[in-house]
Structure 1
Amino acid sequence: MYPPKSFDIGWPDLAYAMAACGRGGDAGRWAATVERRFGDGGTDGSAHAAQDGTDGSTHAPSGGADRCLATLSVRSALDLALSAAALPRGSEVLMSAVTIPDMWRIVTEHGLVPVPVDLDAGTLLPTAAQWEAAATPRTKAVVVAHLLGTQAPLGPLPELAARHGWLLVEDCAQAYSGPDFRGSPGADMSLFSFGPIKTATALGGAVAVVRDPGLLASMRALHREWPLQGQGDQARRVAKYALLALLTTRPVYTGAVAAAGALGRGRTSGLQDAVGAFAGKDLLPAIRHRPGSALLALLDRRLRAAGTARAVARRAATARRLMARLPDPAPVYGASAPVHTYWLCAVPTPDPAATTARLRSAGFDAARPTTLGAVPAPPGHRQGARTAAHLVRHAVCLPLRPGMPERALDRMAAVLDPEDWGTAP
């Protein structure tokens, strides 16, 4: 049985992570090291060329150590940015209409109003016309998320934001692909996550590329006032995800599925609930910590690792091999994005429960994208978010693995009902 998602971390990394929890260290120095390493990443664009057959020119890297801030999570970085920006209460924040619920919760915690802007199913980003239509005189910021591993140009959005004085935040949490991508130069801030299920995971941590020097200075000042993450908290996190990494190896997971079936349970999946970085916690107190030295040491190790871009390219190639077997790959969410690394390969289906049941019977424990939600519209908001609602209700994420054998892809493609294709909005 293929698990719904694997952890992109090896046992040597986990051993290093646990050892780091027992060592002392200066968190400030580790943060500076991570920021320097992330900001000075490679610029050859080779990973993009491998992923989508283009030269990668749509996304010139725009990092720089003097622009980077290492934080506990992307949530922490957004919270810092909104605190530093001090937008008037009641201001509207345009948000691409699918994201993790914590992101719009943070917006509301600052007394702001999240306004969903629907997506194009092909790129998983709103069009320029949709951003324009959603804006009002109360709009003061935009948060745009690259979903499922897609990377697409922001088009005229940076110019629109600059013209109106909006804060433009780019959420690249699901889009990290190695050292060649550091976000869109026109965004005020680009956010990268290294949480538990992300590419090159450090089991936590994030880097914000902040291109507005004044905003970055204010964020740093606020960040220094936050308490430091405890080494014990990090040790418990490493132990938890080491256990989950073991449970999601194919032989162990297959046995767990069989045991669950013998006990009369329909599925084993508490896994999806277990992997949330801040699941079950009071959000703002949980995210308002600086990352500790042990987390930062692991993040630095993951950023130093060679081969991330190659592994991402192999993952994308596996997805394309599957798509070549489908009757019509066009409805795959994000299929027309200039770059799609297939962090998740999500397909539309009219009956997700039936589709996941068929896939499980064939040895593929497909899952719903339960960590994502559709941003709720504020009262009186007229613009619908049809594609966003469709994705949240109908998407099924396929358990692809880099280098998956041809016979497994044949079996997966055969299980997917041709009638499922053409249900995307």
Structure 2
Amino acid sequence: MSRETPTVFPKWTPGTLDIHHIDTGCGNATLIVGPDGTAIVIDCGTSKDIPLGQDGSRRPGELVARYALRNSPSTTLDYLIATHVHPDHVGDVHSDKTAMGSGFQLTGLSDVDHLMPATLVIDRAYPDYGLRPPLRAPFADNYLAWLDARRRQGRQIARIAVGSTSQVKLRSPQDYPTFSIRTLAANGSVWTGTGHESRSLFPDLSALPPEALPDENKCSMAFLVSYGLFCYYTGGDLTCDTYDGRYPWMDVETPVAEAAGKVDVAVANHHGYFDACGPDFVGLLDAATYIIPAWHVTHPGMAQLQRMLGAWPGVKRRNVFATRMLPENGLVNSRFTSEMRSRQGHVVVRVEPGGGSYRIFVLDSSSELDYVTAEFGPYMCS
């Protein structure tokens, strides 16, 4: 239900799982606070050359770190994860030349690490990316320079382990045995559904012509978070576009959704862009709630929004939230926007102790006061 008089978002308490989808207006950023207080940030993008903040005075990475410090019981992070190396997920270079680290510019993830130091940074493949290295671009060079600096300082960096539930774990896993974070996919590999085993979705890359090589998005990490009966999916910028059937294996999204199975809450792949969130993605996950990390005029596509909503006659509607749907996109999607739960703000999934039910809170992202503008639920987990 909507609240006429906003209240401050209630603080995390032990036993509760909070998943914050942070609205920066220029990229993805997710904070997970586990039931024992374990703090995880997945992505922090800065896709525009702006030292931005709600008042124009702070960079997006600073905003995310400050948000995480307010909404986590810790002053440090246990894990800082980059789903893949694109500027709206790791941080772009910008015009603020005073924001420097040791050989790199503070932006996105490196900004977060500066203000809320992470024990472990997890990358998809650092330092050896094989045949699928990141793009040669200033944002990627800056990101790798940050990782190089961490390594020189003796700070931990790890390559993601697909299929594992032990690489990203709680500080006190024995206290919450029904909680787990499984890596479903990365670098074109997907969990088989057995143990910690994975299989490759890509053909022999060395035999492919340049135009058929998988792009960075298809190498994104995907995770399945489970707590009691509650299940949550997030998959970076995975896509299902096969170039109209020319390269069927480029549909990475569908086998990853199949590995995940039914979930309660899912994040839209690739911001709900035209090349993601296909029929199989929605059908296999069958989530009651979808969250779109939107920041661009193309987020989401019309078919993708209709599909996530279930906006067909006689179909029960699903909950759909966007972190920041731009006005131009709202015009394109005007057929469906009235059926969305919200179109701007931080979207917080709060799972009750034990993982039997969850609520959704929308927070005002125009300030750092964390006012609740709407609350939905409770929803029973399936």
Task: Give the TM bin, normalised by the shorter chain.
Answer: under 0.3
Return the structure number with greater relative CO, CA threshold 8 A, min gap 6.
1
Q: Which structure has more helix as a fraction of its residues? A: 1
Relative to the length of structure 2, the TM-score reads 0.26
Relative to the length of structure 1, the TM-score reads 0.24
Structure with max Cα Rg: 1
Q: Which structure has more strand as a fraction of its residues? A: 2
